[in-house]
Amino acid sequence: PVTQAAMTGRQRQIMTLVAQGKTNAVIAAEIGLSRRTIEAHRLRLTRAVGVRNTAELVAWFSASSGLNP
């Protein structure tokens, strides 16, 4: 499984924006990448972490970031 420490800076940046509730299109515009690139990053992370959807991915990211009590 992937850990926070193993994530790239770009992956952390994208996950932070996803956790803020931003859409792929908004994230893409903010960081200057295509929407498809953002989708690919999210899909790779979802598979690497072993979760089924964005809600679970955000929950994993929050917990591994120490954002959840």
18's CB contacts (< 8 A; 6+ apart) are 27, 42, 54, 57, 58, 61
For residue 13, what pLDDT band results from cuts at 50, 70 and 90? very high
Residue carrying the six token digits 């690497």 = 48
What is the model's pTM? 0.84
pLDDT tens digits, one per residue of 39-68 = 999 999 999 999 999 999 999 998 887 665
